Structure 1
Amino acid sequence: MGRKRLITDSYPVVKRREDPTGHSKGELVPELGEEPQPLSADVDEAALELLRQFDLARQYGPCTGITRLQRWHRAQKMGLEPPLEVRQLLQAHLEDPRYQHSLWHLYPL
């Protein structure tokens, strides 16, 4: 008869960094070949969250089938006063599809 399976057997082992005294600092050790992410990732996430909130705001009209910038311009033409921060973000990242496409761009109409 084999060893009794534990619930922890189904979870991967996570190694944490230790300081010189041997105590864990709570930071995850990156996998081999994996680069640690830069601190600017938090800033990018905040910007992308603002754009997701813009996608979910119904007062600016539907967001499927068009880019975020097209939606922003349409809302401005209709006098709906879309946030200027959204336009500034979109203008700063014209070539980045993460910024230009809405939440729903992967779903067919």
Structure 2
Amino acid sequence: MGRKRLITDSFQVVKKRKRDSKETKKAQSPLHGEYYTAHPDQLETLKQFDLSWQYGPCTGITRLQRWERAELLGLNPPAMVRELLEKHNKDPLVTYSLWHGYCL
């Protein structure tokens, strides 16, 4: 009778490398790239703009489209919101509304 066969006899053993620290994971995150420059307080301002129903619905359009629509309708949206949208126009966290990731 021979020796008992192990699963490692058929498959190569692959060892996972350990991560150095949480900092390397944070550095690899796409949210820390060159286009993602909006500060948390600026994102909070945009979030409040999304949650304010006086400027109309925000689903299905970008924040800039919503701001322009509100301006055309004479609803006087905050000018600071437009400045943020134009300044950080490549940042998806700024461009799209709070509800962009949800199927509604």
Same fold (TM over 0.5): yes
- Pick closer, same or farther for the CA change 1:56–1:34 going to 2, 3 Å: same
**Amino acid corresponding to residue 24 of structure 2 in structure 1:** G
- Pick closer, same or farther for the CA change 1:32–1:107 going to 2, 3 Å: closer
Q: Which runs of 5+ in 2 are unaligned?
A: 1-20, 33-37
SS at match of 1:72: helix
**1:79 lines up with 2:74 in the alignment:** yes
Counterpart for residue 84 of structure 2: 89
Q: Which of these two proteins has the greater Rg computed from alpha carbons?
A: 2
Percent sequence identity over matched residues?
Answer: 53
Counterpart for residue 31 of structure 1: 22
SS at match of 1:99: helix
**TM-score normalised by structure 1 residue count:** 0.63
Using CA pairs below 8 Å that are at least 6 residues apart, which structure has the higher relative contact order?
2
Structure 1 stretches (4+) deviating beyond 6 angstroms? Answer: none
Counterpart for residue 18 of structure 1: none
Q: Which runs of 5+ in 1 are unaligned?
A: 1-29, 38-42
Tell me how far apart the structure 2 counterparts of residues 50 and 74 of structure 1 sit (CA, whole Å): 18
Select the structure that is richer in helix.
Answer: 2
**TM-score normalised by structure 2 residue count:** 0.66
**Amino acid corresponding to residue 88 of structure 2 in structure 1:** H
- Displacement of 1:33 in angstroms is 2.7
